[in-house]
């Protein structure tokens, strides 16, 4: 069976102009994948756009891939960050979203802040893990972050965005600055 519209299952909504419904799963072409807070369904925790989505209804597990590369297509509204990491997995039992790079070009894989106070802070990354319970984004393979005239290399190439949207203290980071 094929359809056009959206379907909500618990806190997950899949929307597309082209959804193929099967016995135990569904596929959406160039759609959106949204996860809302179970305690407050009006609060969006994660939203991916322009995605091809496969959703296993029985196991509440989804795999999705962006139809574009190098553009921020996944949004963490509460943390005020977006990312272009284009391949992901959602697992309700594990209560997480895992994202990874879709493109082999480093410049295509990044996070960017949408908080005006952070002045479009952005940095490259290869993977990210979002825990819906803690609402923290754990980001790995971050080679460096440019801030003003400084280049910051996070220890272990690891960055955590707290549930408030602030970057967790970068202990042990290497800082290079022009004087």
The closest of 103, 100, 28 to 62, measured between CA atoms, is 28
- What's the residue count for the chain? 179
Reported as a single tens digit per residue, the pLDDT across 129-138 is 999 999 999 9
Residue with tokens 């379907």: 7
CA dihedral 171→81→90→94, nearest 10 degrees, is 40
Rounded average pLDDT over 40-60: 96
Residue 179 confidence class, pLDDT cut points 50, 70, 90: low
* Average pLDDT along the chain: 95
CA distances from 78 to 1, 11, 68, 75, 153 (A): 35, 16, 24, 9, 26
- Full-prediction pTM beyond 0.85? yes
Reported as a single tens digit per residue, the pLDDT across 84-114 is 999 999 999 999 999 999 988 888 999 999 9
- Region of 20 (left: φ > 0; alpha: ψ -120 to 50; beta: rest) is beta
* pLDDT above 90 (res 10): no
Q: What is the β-pairing status of strands 127-131 and 96-100?
A: antiparallel
Q: Please answer whether residues 75 and 46 qualify as being in contact, where contact means their C-beta atoms are separated by less than 8 angstroms.
A: yes
How far apart CA 12 and CA 37 sit, in angstroms, is 9
């Amino acid at each position: 069976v094929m359809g056009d519209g959206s379907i909500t299952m618990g806190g997950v909504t899949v929307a597309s102009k082209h959804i193929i419904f099967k016995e135990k799963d569904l596929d959406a072409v160039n759609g959106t994948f949204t996860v809302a807070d179970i305690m407050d369904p009006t609060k969006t925790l994660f939203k991916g756009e322009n995605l091809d989505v496969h959703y296993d209804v029985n196991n509440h597990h989804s795999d999705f891939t962006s139809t574009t590369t190098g553009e921020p297509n996944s949004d963490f509204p509460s943390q005020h960050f977006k990312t272009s990491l284009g391949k992901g997995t959602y697992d309700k039992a594990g209560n997480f979203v895992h994202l990874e790079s879709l493109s082999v070009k480093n410049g295509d894989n990044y996070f960017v802040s949408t908080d005006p106070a952070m002045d479009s802070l952005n940095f490259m990354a290869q993977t990210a893990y979002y825990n819906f319970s803690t609402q923290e984004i754990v980001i790995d393979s971050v080679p460096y972050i440019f801030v003003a005239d400084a280049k910051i290399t996070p220890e272990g190439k690891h960055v955590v965005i707290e549930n408030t949207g602030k970057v967790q203290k970068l202990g042990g980071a290497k800082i290079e600055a022009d004087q």
